[in-house]
């Protein structure tokens, strides 16, 4: 049988995907599974976005699109960056991708060579390290402890940078912790990055509008305009507008980097869905009431989850400032045995026991480079979330 490439061995199935698959299998067997794994809003896409896609299709806007995005979409993105962050990007400093993930993939693929280092504050989304490894680069993980609110410290980033560093990746609000970097955090990081002009900066702002309690979003190109010429600012419509399945991401950055990213995308997928871009234009330019209402719902669910988890024996849970995740510490559960007889040695054991014994699907913190934690998504209906959290409480009561 013909063989596979060596690079395939550097790619793993994301833990969140693996746990979701296991949950689906159990549900298919008739088990009453509560899935708290997926980073996907449980709301519908905006009606005006759906209607815009429909009208675009009816008008025959179904041909191959420009590889870097339609003029109408790029103008909407340009206005979005000005409106939300005060960043002024020219149209040739903007590109689009099949979801935010492809935008990140394009950036890393066109810049990282074997042996290059990518500095990643952790806990972090799994994909950053995996994309780096796919390019034979080296992820350099910078610990963001809970006692600092899971936020990166500028001095730790400074210590991690070497002559081999190609990128610093920042994600705020953060997946999996929900941590939000303050303007002061970003200014301190910017001061460090001025010392290292050979390093690109990637700000993944996908959750930028899911922020609670009056906290304000900040991004590097906004707080440090002098670093704009080596900063890539990434976002999309997936989380803000509940449009994950439309697969629409975008970025603003220096012209030469954007051009390289568009070229890289051309070797994979070329342009993105024309009707999807029409929908995204409507989402960005249209009423924002739905996005604000969703953020209010996520804040309510955060409060429910944090309280119920802190009321669970052996669990402590930090209250995040954004996104739709909580990241509880399960250290108090380790070394104990479940009601079903499983010895809990680490957070993965906790995760599997919750699924197999109580039919609650979560993701273990080790998958995000920090243990012993769980990632719990609050992007689910209130009743379903509460049911899952009650089962977690019952699980903890049964430990001995």
Q: What is the pLDDT of residue 213?
A: 81
> Quick one: 88 and 171 in the same domain?
yes
Contact present, 95 and 270 (Cβ < 8 Å): no
Domain boundary among 261, 285, 309: 285
- Is 300 contained in some domain? yes
d(CA 70, CA 76): 10
> Quick one: 250 and 384 in the same domain?
no
Q: What is the pLDDT of residue 148?
A: 95
How large is the angle between the packed helices 15-28 and 347-358, nearest 10 degrees?
A: 20
d(CA 164, CA 101): 24
> Quick one: 228 and 330 in the same domain?
no
- The CATH number of the domain holding residue 368 is 3.90.1150.10
> Quick one: 232 and 344 in the same domain?
no
> Quick one: 69 and 176 in the same domain?
yes
- pLDDT of residue 97 exceeding 90: yes
> Quick one: 241 and 375 in the same domain?
no
How large is the angle between the packed helices 347-358 and 382-397, nearest 10 degrees?
A: 110
CA nearest to 65, candidates 282, 277, 271, 281: 271
The H-assigned helical ranges of 86-119 are 100-109
> Quick one: 270 and 212 in the same domain?
yes
User: In the structure, how many helices (H) and strands (E) does the chain have?
Assistant: 13, 12
- Is 1 contained in some domain? no
- Is 85 contained in some domain? yes
Which helix (H) or strand (E) segment holds residue 253: the answer is: none
Q: In the chain, how many domains are there?
A: 2
List, for residues 223-268, the tens digit of each pLDDT value.
999 999 999 999 999 999 999 999 999 999 999 999 999 999 999 9
> Quick one: 18 and 83 in the same domain?
no
pLDDT band at 14 (very low <50, low <70, confident <90, very high): confident
Q: What is the pLDDT of residue 17?
A: 79
* More confidently predicted of 341 and 16: 341
> Quick one: 116 and 40 in the same domain?
no
> Quick one: 274 and 311 in the same domain?
no
> Quick one: 143 and 23 in the same domain?
no
- The CATH number of the domain holding residue 214 is 3.40.640.10
Domain boundary among 233, 264, 285: 285
- Is 268 contained in some domain? yes
> Quick one: 177 and 31 in the same domain?
no
d(CA 385, CA 341): 26
Domain that holds residue 323: 6-44+290-397
Mean pLDDT over the full length of the chain: 96
- pLDDT of residue 330 exceeding 90: yes
Q: What is the pLDDT of residue 348?
A: 94
Q: What is the pLDDT of residue 244?
A: 96
pLDDT band at 165 (very low <50, low <70, confident <90, very high): very high
pTM: 0.95
The three-state secondary structure class of 9 is helix
pLDDT band at 57 (very low <50, low <70, confident <90, very high): very high
List, for residues 360-377, the tens digit of each pLDDT value.
999 999 999 999 999 999
Domain boundary among 253, 285, 317: 285
């Amino acid at each position: 049988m013909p063989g596979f490439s060596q690079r395939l061995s550097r790619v793993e199935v994301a833990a969140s995907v693996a746990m979701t698959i296991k949950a689906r299998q159990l549900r298919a067997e008739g088990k009453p599974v509560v899935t708290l794994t997926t980073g996907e809003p449980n709301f519908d896409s905006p009606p005006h976005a759906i209607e815009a896609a429909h009208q675009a299709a009816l008008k025959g806007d179904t041909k191959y699109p420009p590889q870097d995005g339609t003029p109408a979409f790029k103008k909407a993105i340009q206005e979005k960056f000005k409106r939300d962050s005060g960043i002024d990007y020219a149209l040739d400093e903007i590109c689009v991708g099949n979801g935010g993930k492809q935008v990140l993939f394009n950036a890393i693929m066109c810049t990282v060579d074997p042996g290059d280092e990518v500095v990643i504050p952790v806990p972090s989304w799994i994909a950053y390290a995996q994309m780096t490894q796919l390019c034979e680069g080296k992820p350099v993980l910078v610990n963001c402890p809970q006692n600092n609110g899971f936020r990166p410290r500028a001095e730790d980033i400074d210590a991690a940078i070497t002559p081999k560093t190609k990128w610093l990746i920042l994600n705020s609000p953060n997946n999996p912790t929900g941590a939000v970097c303050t303007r002061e955090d970003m200014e301190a990081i910017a001061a460090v990055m001025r010392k290292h002009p050979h390093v690109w900066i990637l700000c993944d702002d996908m959750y930028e509008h899911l922020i609670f309690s009056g906290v304000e979003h900040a991004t590097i190109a906004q707080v440090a305009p002098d670093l704009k010429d080596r900063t890539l600012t990434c976002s999309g419509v997936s989380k803000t507008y509940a449009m994950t399945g439309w697969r629409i991401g975008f970025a603003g950055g220096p012209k030469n980097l954007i051009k390289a990213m568009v070229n890289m995308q051309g070797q994979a997928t070329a342009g993105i869905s024309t009707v999807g871009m029409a929908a995204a234009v409507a989402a960005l330019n249209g009423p924002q009431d739905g996005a604000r209402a969703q953020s209010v719902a996520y804040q309510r669910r955060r409060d429910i989850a944090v309280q119920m988890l802190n009321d669970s024996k052996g669990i402590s849970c930090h209250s995040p400032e954004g996104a739709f995740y909580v990241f509880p510490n399960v250290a108090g559960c380790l070394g104990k045995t479940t009601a079903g007889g499983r010895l809990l040695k680490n957070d993965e054991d906790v995760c599997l026991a919750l699924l197999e014994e109580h039919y609650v699907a979560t993701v273990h913190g080790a998958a995000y480079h920090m243990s012993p934690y769980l990632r719990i998504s609050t992007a689910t209906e209130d009743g379903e979330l509460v049911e899952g959290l009650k089962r977690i409480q019952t699980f903890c009561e049964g430990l001995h």
